[in-house]
Structure 1
């Protein structure tokens, strides 16, 4: 496991990767180990709809050990907070801390909203959004005490931009963007940096969605460099990064300058008449916090 002298290293770091039994999570775990991290390979071992089980995490641990790294398997369910707390406690007991958390675990239960069972909506949101919150919360006090932490949320283009037949998935994934943005603010004083990746990759989650050639082009190892940068020591915070096939993109939630309406114009008809100006993206900004929306409203009123 030789590492270049100038390479980004995770030597001395302890990392937890959820959903690491295959696909993206496996690649993240392997690359973290190659760069010196001790890795907790968390995977419930279920199929992509959240059913069944396997020993996938143990196989990844074996791969890491075969290359000379250190890893342990964990079969905890991210949607069960007590299991996440137990995972973190065992990790801290064994290795003294948790420096990196990559929230990667997820499931799919795709259907149009008209045909979707409410239980399938709730389950997908629980695994992706609540599960990521639980895993992060379980690590949070340890990271604060260390004055160091790197957390990565896994969003999706579906959450950012929508996709037919994935209302549950999209709702969960956009929720993760809001969670990451808030935690980036709250964690700053303790050097906890929180970012979001929106990957496009050929994995068991997407194997029937890609043609064979595209499936290979979108291999997980072509996403992993972006993910690992976002949990490295010099990572940014509050970033949203799209990644796929070796292409990396920044995504932003923006706000237009807006239009102040008053008098007779402050009406439904007034909003309709001003819509083109309201939606005009000239001079739009990327707020650093939610409070900046109110600040911009005040500025618009004064203008």
Structure 2
């Protein structure tokens, strides 16, 4: 098998189980050295034993190299220490796969403030904090004439792109991750770093119980796309979001300017009814919200 990531160094967050574990194993099969991050929490965010050591053992059984990291990725200082662990252990950092997260699903009228805060923190800040520290490292390397082919793969969701009933916090966080991906791609391109996101579909702890998962893809079905995006071959792909559903790969067509009408002056409120309705008639129907 051609190994796309020979000698490259990766961090995969939330890599103890499910999709993150599959990513870590796939990257290792392609030659990457892996920092296996897992904070060790239940699907509801409660602390539990982390299976990260088991994933490291699986990677080593494949002939690869890996180390355990137990950072809370939404803690800014711990995220920085995680990035530094990769550099201290393996000599550099080339790949960041932001995957960690959990759900606390509620209809909007039943959503509690602490549940909102927890989901936004883990998903949105848990993407920002590692990315911020990795970006600082890559910028410093570029300034020192050691530009690296940095790769970031974030994890959004169909819930963040089309919305999902009963998942207001999760949808908001994942929508934020999609936009963060666009901004980071624009800012980091100058130092040789690409930033993309995937919207994976898979049978995991997060989907079981929320949906009928009997026909859903397996976690490992998403990981080959991550491995390719993490490779040097993907240098021309950045600021993109890919939905992966088994063997179906979809390039998401995110927010774009649609139909418009310019009055050449300030609008009068009373005339906007016909204008807005005509713009809606010209545009495409929005994707339905999941569960609607």
Q: TM-score, normalised by structure 1?
A: 0.86
Shift of 1:38: 0.2
The question of 1:231 aligning with 2:233 is answered no
Provide the C-alpha distance between the structure 2 equivalents of 1:169 and 1:212, rounded to a whole number of angstroms.
19
Q: Is the 8 A contact 1:202 1:210 kept in 2?
A: no
Provide the C-alpha distance between the structure 1 equivalents of 2:214 and 2:44, rounded to a whole number of angstroms.
25
Shift of 1:210: 4.2
The question of 1:131 aligning with 2:126 is answered yes
The question of 1:33 aligning with 2:28 is answered yes
Provide the C-alpha distance between the structure 2 equivalents of 1:85 and 1:16, rounded to a whole number of angstroms.
12
Provide the C-alpha distance between the structure 1 equivalents of 2:24 and 2:170, rounded to a whole number of angstroms.
24
Aligned to 1:256: 258
Shift of 1:262: 4.4
> SS at the partner of 2:45?
coil
Q: Is the 8 A contact 1:97 1:142 kept in 2?
A: no
Provide the C-alpha distance between the structure 2 equivalents of 1:261 and 1:270, rounded to a whole number of angstroms.
11
Provide the C-alpha distance between the structure 2 equivalents of 1:95 and 1:227, rounded to a whole number of angstroms.
21
Cα displacement string for residues 25-63 of structure 1 (whole angstroms, at most 9, x for unaligned residues): 000000000000000000011111111221311110000
Aligned to 1:168: 169
Unaligned runs of 5+ in 2: 285-292
Provide the C-alpha distance between the structure 2 equivalents of 1:251 and 1:211, rounded to a whole number of angstroms.
24
Relative contact order higher in (CA < 8 Å, ≥ 6 apart): 2
Provide the C-alpha distance between the structure 1 equivalents of 2:212 and 2:190, rounded to a whole number of angstroms.
46
> SS at the partner of 1:78?
coil
Aligned to 2:290: none
Aligned to 1:151: 152
Aligned to 1:271: 272
Q: Is the 8 A contact 1:184 1:194 kept in 2?
A: yes
> SS at the partner of 2:274?
helix
Distance 1:275 1:23, change over 3 A: same
The question of 1:243 aligning with 2:238 is answered no
Aligned to 1:61: 56
Provide the C-alpha distance between the structure 2 equivalents of 1:197 and 1:14, rounded to a whole number of angstroms.
20
Judge which range, 34-43 or 232-241, deviates more.
Answer: 232-241
